[in-house]
Structure 1
Amino acid sequence: MSGGNGLPVSDDIIDRFLLFSPTFLSLKAALLTCKQVYRVFQSHRNSVVRAVAYNVAGPALPQALAYIRHPDVQIHIPRSRTHTRKTPSQAHWSDFDSDEDSEDGSSSRTHRQARKTPRKPVSVRIDQLEDLASAPITPTESHKILANSKIVARLEDMFSFRYIDRTRSTSQLNSSESQAFCAAIYHLMLYSAITDLREWIDDADFEHDVNVYVGDYADYIENGKKLLSILSTPELIRLHTVAEFLKEVLTWCVRAGGYSDDIRDLVLAAGPARILRCFDKQDYLMLEPLGEILDFFEEELGLMPGILSRPHTSVLESRNVKPPADIAHSVSISSRVSEKNSQCDRCQQSFGFGAHSRSTFTEISNGECYKLHITSQRNYGPQSIHRYLKNNLRHNSPEVVSFTNEAKNLGASLLLHVWNNLWEMELVRQQPLGQQPLPDWTEDSYLCDTCFTSFLVENLWLWWRYIKSDSEPLKENCWYGYDCRTQTHNRIHAQKLNHLCEQTRH
């Protein structure tokens, strides 16, 4: 029965179809099919939009909405140049862009220029947070939900890889674990917006005594404390968990930038989106998203207490609760969390996100999760892997050129080929004599960067000798093999003899 809509299905079926749209983009496509579908949508606008928002953001939708609707969070959505400007009353639910990311925070310059008066103290009650999440969703908010859900999903993938399952780069958290993690990230986003240090830096009067602006800073801390006080104790513990997780993401970034690890707690105020951008950059501009905060606090670090740790600890202590130490806090997200998940199988040191294994190399080869494994691509890619040839081989120009050409031909599958060939042809040489006792290399090991580097130095030249000998006979061996110093400066000698061998004359 069609219900008089001209289609072979009833309005109720069309409504159910729209409710299951996985994204706003698919909802837009459905609305553009015919007028009858759009008419059904108009009759159930709020319920359909909220259902699609739930499909995008998941069970943490209330926390996602409470974040973007808080009075201290300015929504800033980039507009396509081809779109005409519309007032809120003119905004149309078919005006969804493609799944294009926007920034987590607003444009800092626009936001600071708009704020002419100091921030008012936060006075939000728990029931008000619930009210912020219950109103109908606007078109502008749908863009923000989409952008933030992508940020949260990336972080969830990284958390799962770090603590749950290092064989998979996509999240292996179950539905309840995922909800707990995502809600905690949205709470941290809201906390970061309320304690926006960039605004404080812009508002502070540095002509006064240092104690004056330290006092102003304390007011910002107090605003954050008021928000924390309305969260339940389990929510506070989960907030601590995701904060420690993001500090770990930041660790190598701030070290590479020449900053102390102590600054990580302050940098949390920049918010998860900017921290993720730092991780993704992984070059000399990696800390650019945090520049304003880092530049100012480099000298003032000792004067500024933790932007999150101090109020968080204070609220918990007022409830007679002590924050869990070490890895124990992560159990608040999942009972499956284990520090061993992120330990090198050989030296037992933590590798964080820098695992090297067959599964990692397979994902790189397939073009999957590039950002998570970008360190492997950068350090061990076709252009740079020659640096791990044995001893003086890495300075043999003809050998390096030939080796690099082969590496370029293999492209993203280079590491996977090297790993598989070494084990399939039984070429792997185990621990050299004289090294401190460590377990032997194994085919399914997960190695930290240090151990993987050692593995390549000991075995990469053997792989290259295997590849060369498979295509043509090798030349006569040089007596000094890969230790030969002449090969580094005498091109004729380097080309005339084979140096992919061990030294036979001393």
Structure 2
Amino acid sequence: MAMDSPSAPPLDGDIVDRILTFCPTFATLQSAILVSKAFHSVFQSHPKSITRAVAYNVVGPALPQALRFARYPYYDEDGYRRPSVEAVDLDPATMAAACPEEHGAIVITAKDADKLEGNSKVMDALENIYSLTQKDRTSSTSVLTPEESWRFRRAAYRIMLYCNIFPGTRYSLDELADLRKAEVKKIQRQRTAVLNKYPTDELLQMYAVACFMRGVLEAIDKKTADEEEINILLATGPEGVVHAWESRSYEAVDDELYWLGVESDTRNVLYIGYFDVPFTNVWTARKVKPPKDGEPATKYILDTIVGADDTCSQCDAPGGLELLTEANWHRLNVEPTKFLKGQLKKSPTVTASFSAATKHLHKSDELGPWIAEVFDAKQTPGAWDGWERDMSYCERCLTKFLEDQVWVWYLDYRVQKGWVPPENCRSGYNCKTIVRSRSHVFEKNHLCAPTTKAK
């Protein structure tokens, strides 16, 4: 029955208003008010309150912080998102006080709505990463409590604001080279003033988010990332951190930053202590004892951590949140070919074929489901009875399992693709001939356990 049909019982305006305030997104609201004239009429009667309610649904209780981030005057030059060099002369107190966080009956414009939805997607992704790495390693989506989520998002939106006021792209390489020490000090005073606007307990939550962002960036490339590069990447803010996490590479971060850490021959003093210097300045001015190095900053946001004292399900090695589960297997930085058993990994013919079948797994979220497939394909009964995909493993134990069972998965994979295995080689995956003889690879099946000692 159509909503506007004469025979349809009319909905009370208060009920329609209530329905509209529960719309989860602005797109849903737009669709709802097009359903009928009655819905549209109710919206026209209360546009501000309904839009504000939907904005809260999109962002949550951190709406004042999200709005400030969306509305802040970022001192753009000629309409570009790159502040002018003259911003160095802006009064720190003025920058800190501009566009204050609004509470209460906030009016949401269409421009606000677009920005809020776009930024909320970044925040959703960031919170999922935070939850997986800091709260509960068994869930890829956030399990933060409402209170924990509010603390995190309020702090993260404020960090986003800080990074947008002082972005990595604020100066070109030439401008950085020309910056005098006095100008760097001015910018550090501006940064300090922006952070100094927040109460100490909430500033500690921002500190926790900054520590988390640093940890994410450092974990992406533990071998080559240096302190200066990390400081520069921090200036890209939560969005840059999310891009780096998702791509498992610094290269996904804003292209304009490439020269800062890669092509510059001099130290970029402006980004040394990007967060640390202003935080330290605030602690000192307030005579507050600063957080200790190595102290878990998560305590300022989280009330509880799931599995913090857990051990490996097989060897009892302590690991806590570092243990590997189906939810975080995809974060392993490995080449699947390393798991080929015996002589298989030394055969150019075998590795080429295997690499073609698994190339999509490199730095990909598909690595996790693939490891799950290996567990499903494992030989049973056997030595791996009791090793299940829903358990937690240290990296050593998981690697040991994969090195012993990936060949079983590969055999199943090839058969499913239509391959008919020839007669088994007696030396199986330990056959040394496959390393030097391509023809022998095809003459016999080597995806099998040896039945005799390899020659």
**TM score, norm. by length of structure 1:** 0.73
* CA deviation after TM superposition for structure 1 residue 217, in Å: 2.3
The AA in structure 2 aligned to 1:273 is E
What are the Cα deviations for residues 23-56 of structure 1, in whole angstroms up to 9, with x where unaligned? 1001000122233322321221111111100000
* CA deviation after TM superposition for structure 1 residue 253, in Å: 3.8
* CA deviation after TM superposition for structure 1 residue 21, in Å: 1.1
317 and 338 in structure 1: CA distance in 2 versus 1, 3 angstrom threshold: farther
Contact 2:231 2:271 in 1 (8 A): no
195 and 296 in structure 1: CA distance in 2 versus 1, 3 angstrom threshold: farther
What are the Cα deviations for residues 63-106 of structure 1, in whole angstroms up to 9, with x where unaligned? 111222222276xxxxxxxxxxxxxxxxxxxxxxxxxxxxxxxx
User: Could you tell me how far apart the structure 2 residues matched to 1:473 and 1:267 are?
Assistant: 50
2:344 is the alignment partner of 1:393? yes
- Alignment match, 1:80: none
What are the Cα deviations for residues 239-294 of structure 1, in whole angstroms up to 9, with x where unaligned? 111111111111144557x4414432342222111221122223583345442543
The AA in structure 1 aligned to 2:252 is M
Alignment of 1:396-411 (within 5 A): 396=347
* CA deviation after TM superposition for structure 1 residue 304, in Å: 5.0
2:433 is the alignment partner of 1:482? no
Give the match's secondary structure for 1:130. coil
Give the match's secondary structure for 2:87. coil
283 and 204 in structure 1: CA distance in 2 versus 1, 3 angstrom threshold: closer
Alignment of 1:55-134 (within 5 A): 55-72=57-74, 110-112=80-82, 115=84, 117-119=86-88, 120-124=90-94, 129-131=100-102
192 and 259 in structure 1: CA distance in 2 versus 1, 3 angstrom threshold: same
341 and 288 in structure 1: CA distance in 2 versus 1, 3 angstrom threshold: farther
Alignment of 1:33-432 (within 5 A): 33-72=35-74, 110-112=80-82, 115=84, 117-119=86-88, 120-124=90-94, 129-131=100-102, 135-201=106-172, 204=175, 206=177, 208=178, 212-253=179-220, 255=222, 258-282=224-248, 285-289=251-255, 290-295=257-262, 299-301=266-268, 305-319=272-286, 320-337=288-305, 340=308, 348=318, 356-359=324-327, 373=330, 375=331, 379=334, 385-396=336-347, 413-422=369-378, 424-428=380-384
* CA deviation after TM superposition for structure 1 residue 17, in Å: 1.5
450 and 246 in structure 1: CA distance in 2 versus 1, 3 angstrom threshold: farther
Unaligned runs of 5+ in 1: 75-106, 362-372, 430-439
- Alignment match, 1:459: 405
220 and 447 in structure 1: CA distance in 2 versus 1, 3 angstrom threshold: farther
Contact 1:163 1:339 in 2 (8 A): no
Give the match's secondary structure for 1:118. helix
The AA in structure 2 aligned to 1:305 is I
Unaligned runs of 5+ in 2: none
Bigger CA drift: 258-267 or 151-160?
258-267
Bigger CA drift: 486-495 or 43-52?
486-495
User: Could you tell me how far apart the structure 1 residues matched to 2:209 and 2:445 are?
Assistant: 54
Q: How many residue pairs are counted as aligned between the two chains?
A: 435
254 and 306 in structure 1: CA distance in 2 versus 1, 3 angstrom threshold: farther
Contact 2:132 2:328 in 1 (8 A): no
- Alignment match, 1:91: none
- Alignment match, 2:449: 501
2:27 is the alignment partner of 1:16? no
* CA deviation after TM superposition for structure 1 residue 130, in Å: 3.3
Give the match's secondary structure for 2:67. helix
What are the Cα deviations for residues 410-441 of structure 1, in whole angstroms up to 9, with x where unaligned? 99854222112326443539xxxxxxxxxx96
Give the match's secondary structure for 2:60. helix
Cα RMSD between the aligned structures? 4.0
296 and 495 in structure 1: CA distance in 2 versus 1, 3 angstrom threshold: closer
Bigger CA drift: 285-294 or 144-153?
285-294
Contact 1:118 1:203 in 2 (8 A): no
- Alignment match, 1:102: none
Contact 1:122 1:223 in 2 (8 A): yes
User: Could you tell me how far apart the structure 2 residues matched to 1:51 and 1:139 are?
Assistant: 14
* CA deviation after TM superposition for structure 1 residue 469, in Å: 10
User: Could you tell me how far apart the structure 1 residues matched to 2:169 and 2:352 are?
Assistant: 49
User: Could you tell me how far apart the structure 2 residues matched to 1:308 and 1:405 are?
Assistant: 44
User: Could you tell me how far apart the structure 1 residues matched to 2:265 and 2:214 are?
Assistant: 17
Q: What is the identity percentage for the equivalent residue pairs of Structure 1 and Structure 2?
A: 27
* CA deviation after TM superposition for structure 1 residue 446, in Å: 3.0
Contact 1:253 1:279 in 2 (8 A): yes
The AA in structure 1 aligned to 2:423 is K
User: Could you tell me how far apart the structure 2 residues matched to 1:277 and 1:43 are?
Assistant: 41
User: Could you tell me how far apart the structure 2 residues matched to 1:321 and 1:34 are?
Assistant: 59
**TM score, norm. by length of structure 2:** 0.80
